[in-house]
Structure 1
Amino acid sequence: MDTKESSLYKEKNDDYYEGANPYLLKHINKGWTEVLDIGCSKGGLGAAIKEKGIRVSGIENFEEAAQIAKGKLDHVIQGNIETMELPYEKEQFDCIIFGDVLEHLFDPWVVLKKVKPYVKKEGSILTSIPNAAHISIVISLLNGDWTYEEAGLMDKTHIRFFTFKEMVRLFTNTGFSINKVERVYAPYGNYIPIIQDLYEVCRKHNIGNEFMMETPVYQYVIEAVKV
């Protein structure tokens, strides 16, 4: 990570590195024995997973957050997942978690292939990924805007952007099969008339058959197993 990119993360509010994503937490299997949380931040999610009796290791790129996580998790490494060597045993983990992480990577395809050997034969990848086809982004594009923000779907530290179809391709092309999908919605009531009108345009021109279902989705939680 270069100096300019690092400075963007340093500008984040402290709460950016806090907390545990409840949508990820609900997918944790109590039968798991060991989990790796990549981008573990200050260890909020990992600490909640540990309460279920699961051993949790973490990788965090930012030193201050990593130091805090070390006091909460069983093992934490400070480093960049894209460039670091992994010190783990083959097939060590029941699950490797990327909570709002893949969109921050230059090459998430290579990273998924990189971690795959460390997932058990029946293990999984658990991710949360923002939806680049959300209606708010569609409207911005219709206005000619692609404006980065401090947080959210257009977070200025996002490097990659995925629609649901591209998420499926991401996992399929890296040797995983999706077995669970949860759609997370933010309030979108004000957008309903626009969604309905755009859907009629899609239907007229025989495009975007999944528009009505996918464009209200703010984030996807995906569990994928090794093929």
Structure 2
Amino acid sequence: MGTTTPQDDQFHALLKEYSYPLSLEGENTASRTLRLVGKNKRVLELGCSVGTQSKVLRHDLNCDVTGIEINPSAAEQARRYCSRVIVGNLDELDFRPLFPQEKFDVVLCADVLEHLYNPTSLLSRVKPLIDTNGYLIASIPNIVHIAILLEMLHGKFDYKNNGILDNSHIRFFTRKTIITSFTEAEFTIALLERSYARENETEFDLRNTINNASRIIEYIRTNNEECFTYHFIVKATPSQSSREELSILNAHMENSSLIALATDKERELAKLERRINELQSNLTWLENKTPVRIARWIMSLIHNKSRNLTSTKAT
């Protein structure tokens, strides 16, 4: 057995086992991603960890799952739900000898690309494994979320055990770099969706910042349309188009996704306006009722005082 280096120790310290409650009914990123996979699919799940998503794919969607996982301990647990689990580093694996004839309906990259040194290379290497009419599904954290920007204003870029700054993340993505990576890997983006979180709904403690940086927050909200995007959710298909044609197609999809983003914001604004109207209505009701209650309270005091005086005189 060879000796280990400090770099090896650091590498193995980042081998994590991601386990969390998960069902298809949720509106979180993982649930939405799995629903895009569909039923009765042959799935290649990259970075399957302990099999949290593999379990749902197998039991709830009746999928046949092949997993690839870098952590041997996590891979062993995932074997409970996968037909096959390969232990390997996605940055280095040559898929051709592993799957010389095999094709998959879906390649799943759920919060995986940000853990790699060369995510575009991975996308290119798995492309031949996708069968006709197949597709790739990915969820990818957004590095320009408002919480990250507010942290950086205070000189912070502190890694955490999970979330956008998970301490095993190597690469960071924006909407633009996602479009670029998939285009360079020769995928057509068929769907680009988002999951949202406001600045006070993340893993970062921003209470003091939120209270003292209202103008900065308003500036970010006005100038960064993706400031509340926590994850991007991508569905992409292998493309036979030229690079120029593919760039145009993916740019069109990006524009369509921005229209959807604007619609989401209009829906959220309408919800806030309804809430404001509700609060204003309640305030009006209270303002109308309070004088009556005060008058009744004063009359009650006068009545009780009068009764007390009458009782004292009679005595």
Measured against the shorter chain, the TM-score band is 0.7 to 0.9
Structure 1 residues 90 and 41: CA distance shift in structure 2, 3 A? same
How far residue 185 of structure 1 moved from its aligned partner, in angstroms, is 1.2
- Matched with 2:254 is none
- Matched with 2:218 is 196
Question: Of 41, 44, 48, which aligns to 1:36?
Answer: 44
1:84 paired to 2:106: no
Task: Please list every run of 5 or more consecutive structure 2 residues that lacks an aligned counterpart in the other structure.
Answer: 1-6, 23-29, 201-206, 240-315
- Matched with 2:310 is none
Which secondary structure does the structure 2 equivalent of 1:26 belong to?
helix
Alpha-carbon distance between aligned partners in 2 of 1:92 and 1:50, rounded to the nearest angstrom: 18
Task: Please list every run of 5 or more consecutive structure 1 residues that lacks an aligned counterpart in the other structure.
Answer: 203-210
Alpha-carbon distance between aligned partners in 2 of 1:56 and 1:175, rounded to the nearest angstrom: 25
How far residue 151 of structure 1 moved from its aligned partner, in angstroms, is 1.5
* Amino acid of the structure 1 residue aligned with 2:68: I
* Amino acid of the structure 2 residue aligned with 1:99: A
* Amino acid of the structure 1 residue aligned with 2:119: P
Work out whether residues 19 and 45 of structure 1, in 8 Å CA contact, stay in contact via their aligned partners in 2.
Answer: no
Deviations 1:173-204 (A, max 9, x none): 1110111122111244686954433355x4xx
Within 5 Å, give how 1:1-227 maps onto structure 2.
Answer: 2-9=8-15, 12=16, 16-20=18-22, 21-30=30-39, 33-51=41-59, 52-86=61-95, 87-90=98-101, 92-188=103-199, 194-200=216-222, 202=223, 211-212=224-225, 214-227=226-239
Identity %: 33
My pick for the range that moved more, 125-134 or 150-159, is 150-159
Which of structures 1 and 2 has the bigger CA Rg?
Answer: 2
Work out whether residues 56 and 74 of structure 1, in 8 Å CA contact, stay in contact via their aligned partners in 2.
Answer: yes
Structure 1 residues 26 and 128: CA distance shift in structure 2, 3 A? same
Deviations 1:112-145 (A, max 9, x none): 1111110113221111110001001111222222
* Amino acid of the structure 1 residue aligned with 2:54: G
Work out whether residues 107 and 135 of structure 2, in 8 Å CA contact, stay in contact via their aligned partners in 1.
Answer: yes
More strand by share: 1
- Length-normalised TM-score, structure 2: 0.62
* Amino acid of the structure 2 residue aligned with 1:169: T
Highest RCO, 1 vs 2 (Cα 8 Å, sep ≥ 6): 1
- Length-normalised TM-score, structure 1: 0.85
How far residue 155 of structure 1 moved from its aligned partner, in angstroms, is 1.2
